A and B are shown apart, each in its own frame.
Chain A
Amino acid sequence: MKTFTLSKLMASAAICAVALTSAAHADPHPDAELIIDGELKLNVRAEAPAHLDGALPELYSGWLFRTDETRALQMDDFENPAILAVEAGAELWETAQGATDQSCADCHGDAAESMKGVRASMPKVNENGDLWSMEDYVMNCQTTRMEAEPYGWNSSDMRNLTSFISMQSRGMPVDVAIDGAAAPFWEKGKEMYYTRFGQLELSCANCHEDSWGMMIRADHLSQGQINGFPTYRLKNAGMVSIHNRFRGCIRDTRAESFAIGSQEFRELELYVASRGNGLAVEGVAVRQ
């Protein structure tokens, strides 16, 4: 009897092992293409950059991991709820602020030209040698040039304006610099990516490098790419910034998270962005 139970156990263990193997990398959508309004094709697959050293076989946008319905929302600018934020951001672009009574447009002119490519290269090292995210550049303009009260890092005005600015790079490949002055920040970001946090002792890599394509409870794990940010999350019914998403992820490991706009998150943003070098900037994505 004992032997029988044991062999039965072993048999079910074997079945489990088989099931686990086949469930691993229950892949992103094999052939869906992201074409906006039937006109603009965005690359949702790309060759992995050399610095990844084989950690990912190919890059996949988070769009490929979502349901048919969620993917469809992003294929039509009329249905994409994030476009409302882009429109609100376009108004802010023209709105005069502060003691100088100047708007973004007064200096930067037509965003379609002056802001083209900005999202694709952020975050980057500024002229003083600090690593800055797009939000830092906006706040710096507001305080030093406009002499205005800066938007909060995660305020709705900031998310609307960064949505509008990101939209100007839609379709361009992500291309953040990781060498030269950016190298030490990138190294720190990489170290953070592979550091386990929280009571659950999970690093970014545990989910987004080792287990992408698998289910974590009811959620289909993506590669954790940030080429679609700022993103409209159906869960929040609003725009979500990159740092807000980082904070949520680290919180979910049951850790005390870093603050939005912290140096740690800027470095992580640089490293995570570099893992998506080659994917299209999606301007404003829609996710679950």
Chain B
Amino acid sequence: MSEVKPRIRLPRSVKAGQAAEVKTLVSHVMETGLRKDSSGNIIPRMIINRFTCEYGGEMVVDMALEGAISANPYVEFDIMVGDATDVVFTWYEDGGAVYTQTEQLTIG
């Protein structure tokens, strides 16, 4: 489960002007940087430190994550649906890696 793999679930369809429930989960070890391996060396911190969601080009969620957040962080929130359909999710990892996934809302 060491691989970083984002998962997203949007409602099957939503109406403009309503709230859409968005569920996100990313598989990640969230290594705190406080643990030691069997030979006593500190395991370096490796966490997702920031998560963002942009809807229709506008930032709707920008979240800072810290070392106390457990593995495979799950984030759930609502977005107010307008005309746009593009929802862009981004996870920022320690060390500079960035994972992005784009999903389409079905409005109808």
Contacts and interface: CB of A to CB of B under 8 A. Distances in A.
Nearest to B5: A87
Contacts of B9: 78
B1 A88 contact: yes
Interface in B1-39: 1, 7, 9, 23, 25, 27
B100 interface: no
A84 to B, nearest CB: 5
A79 B71 contact: no
Contacts of B71: 237
Interface size range on B against A: 10 to 19
B70 interface: yes
A85 B3 CA distance: 12
Interface residues of A, number: 9
Contacts of B72: 81, 84
B1 to A, nearest CB: 5
A191 B23 CA distance: 48
A140 B50 CA distance: 44
B25 A78 contact: yes
B32 to A, nearest CB: 12
A79 B74 contact: yes
A263 to B, nearest CB: 29
Interface of A: 78-79, 81, 84-85, 88, 156, 160, 237
